[in-house]
Amino acid sequence: MTPPIYLDYNATTPLDPGVREAMRPFLEEVWGNPSSVHQVGRRARALLDDARDRAASLLKCKPSEVIFTSGGTESASLALCGTARLLQSKGRHLVTSAVEHDAVLHTCRYLARKEGFDLTVLPVDASGRVDPATLRQALRPDTILVSIMAANNEIGTLQPVAELGAICREHGVRFHTDAVQWFGKEPVASVHQFNADLVSICAHKFHGPKGAGALFIRSPLLPDPILFGGGQENERRAGTENLAAIAGLVAAMERFVPDPVFSRSQLEPLGNRLKAMAGAMEGVHYVGAGERGLANTVSFVVEGTDSIALLAGLDLEGVCASSGSACSAGSVEPSHVVAALGYPPELANALVRFSLGRETRPEDINHVLEVFPEVVTRARPRPSRRDASD
């Protein structure tokens, strides 16, 4: 059986063999609880501390500023809920953008709906970017926290995070960026390049294991915990640390972050071929920021059909693609990102995202170019005989 052509790397990536080997000792030998005081626990604690030191060395921050989590969603929830609750005596105004991942949008809306915070959702331009001037205008004396993503998961737009973060710092407002789609795809010289107080990271987006992530928290900020129990992770995240997952996260960071595993020089020419295909097809529109976007991400909206029909048709042709976020329990819903760009609901419901990776070959793109026009034709409803006669 011919293996499928996988073009959904923004959803998840295969576990790298070298990362798997780095995790193996923690699955077979180092099984102790890092909080135990005996020698088995102390060995686990020493290796946990070593992993934190290595992550901090790569990020160029203090080890105490690295909190290990279960992934991007937990990191975002801790950053947003923990910081908002910590600072609520100073103000209750939060700011985010209309194109954030649901892990951020839903958390902000929860805080507004259930805990009495006031939320401003910033608009974006036609490419999905937040105008820094719009953020500056939105800030108020009671603004305590802003959350704007670094790179968009659905259409690949890169936000001017350093500039946005500088504006927040100028006004004494804490800034969080969801950098889940940035790490492994765009250069990271230092976590401080984002000008952020909080930065979310997720391992399985760059060939690490699922269930592993980190949150950078610039000291002396200490968000309130959202999990309670033991005093693990500098008392920010209760629960026995998942050493195997942490080892995989750090190994993937060391292998694939300094020199991004998603090579722009390799992937941009392949993505440009997909963009050209969209430009040549009637009723198919590229959605994104062009050169100001992730090189691996190419998204279209298609007139006269919907994402379900398109993705099913591609799957039948052996191509794995997505309609955007993969975090909705397998559901395919209208894209809030496309809607935020000003497209009508029927097109927000007809998004196809191809996200390429290191295993993507030119012949894979050749296959997509060959089958996609027919997939679109089949996905569009055929006119009835009565329509044809009219």
- The residues carrying an active-site annotation are 327
Q: Amino acid identity, residue 329?
A: A
Residue 30 DSSP one-character state: -
**Residue 174 bridge partners (DSSP):** 145
Q: Which residues have a Cβ under 8 Å from the Cβ of 390 and sit 6 or more positions away? A: none
Q: Which two tokens stand for residue 186?
A: 């765009």
Q: Which two tokens stand for residue 133?
A: 């001037």
Query: CB neighbours (10 Å) of residue 320?
Result: 16
Q: Which two tokens stand for residue 325?
A: 């976020």
Instruction: Please say whether the beta carbons of 294 and 186 come within 8 A.
Output: yes
Instruction: Please say whether the beta carbons of 199 and 215 come within 8 A.
Output: yes
Indicate the SS3 state at residue 103.
helix
Strands 66-69, 213-217: pairing is antiparallel
Q: For the CA atoms of 103, 106, 108, 114, what is the dihedral angle to 10 degrees? A: -140
CA distances from residue 73 to 79, 198, 258, 259, 283 in whole angstroms, order as listed: 10, 13, 23, 25, 35
